[in-house]
Amino acid sequence: AEKSDSTKFTGTEGWVRIRRGGIEAEPASLVAGLPPADRFGVFGAKHTRNFLDAIRKKTAPESPIDAAIRTDLISHLSNIAVRTGRKIKWDPAKETIVGDAEAAKMMNRTMRKPWDKFA
């Protein structure tokens, strides 16, 4: 049975289910070697401290920007799936939704001024 407090990602090599404080996968090798799910504490308090310390010390934070972008992308894709009521197929090489033009259009929106000049 699916767990309502989690998000499950299914790919060609298996699946990964993520929830606050936990992660599981089939096969388990998909998550082998990952840091513990609670390494940043509840709601990221330790994550914020790590980020501020990295700025102060001019070192890399534990979570690099590319990891943050991927995490945010998962949220956006999940939102699009909920809004369309359909499964989303993501092409990581092309960085786009494939096979669903309506969903793919939801990846971008017209920016309002003055931010439109940065698009």
90: pLDDT strictly greater than 80: yes
pTM above 0.85, yes or no: no
Phi-psi region of 94 (alpha: psi -120 to 50; beta: other; left: phi over 0): alpha
Q: Are 116 and 110 in contact (CB under 8 A)?
A: yes
70: pLDDT strictly greater than 60: yes
| Helix ranges, the chain (H) | 45-57, 65-84, 101-105
